[in-house]
Amino acid sequence: MSNAPAVPIALRWQGDASGHLEILDQTLLPTRLTWLACRDVDTVVEAIRSLRVRGAPAIGIAGAYGVVVAAAEATRHGLGPEAARAHVLARAEQVASARPTAVNLRWAVERTLAVIDGKVGCDASAIGSTLLAEAQTIHDEDRRLCDAIGRHGAPLLPPGGVLTHCNAGALATGGAGTAVAVITTAWDSGRRFEVFADETRPLFQGARLTAWEFVQRGIPVTVLVDAAAGHLLASGRVGSCVVGADRITACGDVANKIGTYGLAVLAAAHGVPFYVAAPSSTFDLSLDDGAAIPIEERSADEVLRPLGTTVGAPGAAAFNPAFDVTPARLVRGIVTEHGVIQPVTRQAIRDVLGAG
């Protein structure tokens, strides 16, 4: 029997198609481990919008299960076949629209819905069973994708510490993570190095979530305020930076948690390779470059009253974009389940993704 620490999980489905989605409420970590039961679509949408579940792959999986929840609603309401289908489609659009930047959410919802295309006359229960099978397939696939990303990315890490930003671990995916999987795979192979996590303002995903994951895995981790990253990079203690992504364009521009762009600029200034780890579902080849990526702006309270504590001067306004865009020229390589895109060019992206 293995004594390896268990990898945390972000979400799980309970029961058959009439069951429900459970989400580990990440707004309460690391002090409280609380599972939120999502038995209706409104709860799923609220969980995505409020960041109870977050990370592009994880909200995609949550979105897929959200479509199943919509079918369960139709079953409980006793809707006939056509009314049930209409209900699922309408509720699915609510789920897909819950957050705008991460492409995985709409991708997963649309992929799940595709399995009932052309299937007319099915009752709500049958629709739900079909949708659940596809949602579980998406979840299972993400576990395997994370493992593949870890295998492809671990050999890229040069000697020296590794710095990451935000959370691109098990809590952000259906498996071991993307950027975090690169780090943990290298660690599990016997390599030893310092691991650093930016705190990631304004919601502290690095300090609360990434650090918690490494502690759960038995890997020592050091948290730093975002503004200390430049000083740390200048010290020579960091050999590479690895982050996740919420959307990647055809040219390789990367949308990720706010602060990623600044970290990439600092890494380039100090000659430290900057890698991005993401599954192929995070690529949006319909967008030519980063200027076309919609950037979500969130509540001023997240900046002025982080975690419920007032820190901003009364009457001050706040600028709170949730994401920024890192130009492809600052990215040394993008690690996918299919392999590493390096250098990051349009043609290399299409070659590795098999997009022609």
Banded model confidence at residue 122, pLDDT cuts 50, 70, 90 = confident
Confidence of residue 212 (pLDDT cuts 50, 70, 90): very high
Q: pLDDT tens digits, residue range 319-346?
A: 999 999 999 999 999 999 999 999 999 9
Task: Look at residue 4 in the predicted model and tell me its pLDDT.
Answer: 58
At residue 134, φ and ψ (nearest 5 deg) are -70, -40
| 19 has pLDDT over 60 | yes
pLDDT digits (tens, 9 = 90+) for 257-286: 999 999 999 999 999 999 999 999 999 999
Amino acid identity, position 128: G
d(C-alpha 105, C-alpha 138), whole Å: 12
Say whether pLDDT at 143 is over 60: yes
Reply yes or no on whether the pLDDT at 2 is more than 80.
no
Spatial separation of the C-alpha atoms in residues 299 and 104, rounded to whole Å: 23
- Strand ranges (E), 204-267: 222-224, 238-243, 247-249, 254-257
For the chain, list the domains and their CATH numbers. 11-146 (1.20.120.420), 149-353 (3.40.50.10470)
Which residues is 284 bridged to in the sheet? 249
How far apart, in whole angstroms, are the C-alpha atoms of residue 83 and residue 43? 22
CA distance 10 to 33: 11
Q: Is 123 a catalytic residue?
A: no
Q: Is the pLDDT of residue 40 over 60?
A: yes
Determine the Cα–Cα distance for residues 201 and 180; give it in Å rounded to an integer. 19
What proportion of the chain, given as a percentage, has pLDDT over 70? 98
Distance CA 194, CA 160 (A): 7
**Active-site choice (142, 198, 226, 246):** 246
Structure confidence by residue, pLDDT tens digits, 237-261: 999 999 999 999 999 999 999 999 9
From residue 16, how far is each of 71, 87, 132 by CA, in Å?
Answer: 12, 19, 8
Residue 47 to residue 277: CA distance in whole angstroms: 25
> Tokens for 225?
């305020």
Q: How distant, in Å, are the alpha carbons of 36, 38, 331, 336 from that of 52?
A: 9, 11, 29, 26
| Percent above pLDDT 90 for the chain | 94
Task: Grade residue 102 by pLDDT with cuts at 50, 70 and 90.
Answer: confident
Cα(171)–Cα(24) distance, integer angstroms: 8
Q: For 45-100, what is each residue's pLDDT tens digit?
A: 999 999 999 999 999 999 999 999 999 999 999 999 999 999 999 999 999 999 98
Query: What pLDDT is stored for residue 5 in this prediction?
Result: 62
Q: Please give the pLDDT value at position 1.
A: 40
DSSP state of 45: H
Q: For the chain, what's the residue count? A: 356
Mean pLDDT of 96-105: 92
Tokens of 87: 């209900």
Q: Which amino acid, one-letter code, is at 245? A: A
Q: What is the 3-state secondary structure (H, E, C) of 116-154?
A: CCCCCCCCHHHHHHHHHHHHHHHHHHHHHHHHHHHHHHH
Residues 210-221: what's their mean pLDDT? 96
Q: Average pLDDT for residues 202-209, to the nearest whole number?
A: 97
Distance (Å, whole) CA 248 – CA 323:
12
DSSP state at residue 258? T
Task: Compute the Cα dihedral for 137, 149, 223, 273 and give only its sign.
Answer: negative
Secondary element (H or E) of residue 335: strand 333-336
Q: Are 295 and 258 in contact (CB under 8 A)?
A: no
pLDDT(356) > 90 = no
Q: Which pLDDT tens digit goes with each residue over 154-194?
A: 999 999 999 999 999 999 999 999 999 999 999 999 999 99
Range in 3-7, 143-147, 320-324 the model is least confident about: 3-7
Handedness of CA 79, 82, 86, 88 (dihedral sign): positive
Within 13 Å of residue 9, how many CA atoms lie on the same side as its CB? Answer: 15
Distances (CA, A) of 64 to 36, 43, 102, 126, 136: 17, 14, 14, 16, 8
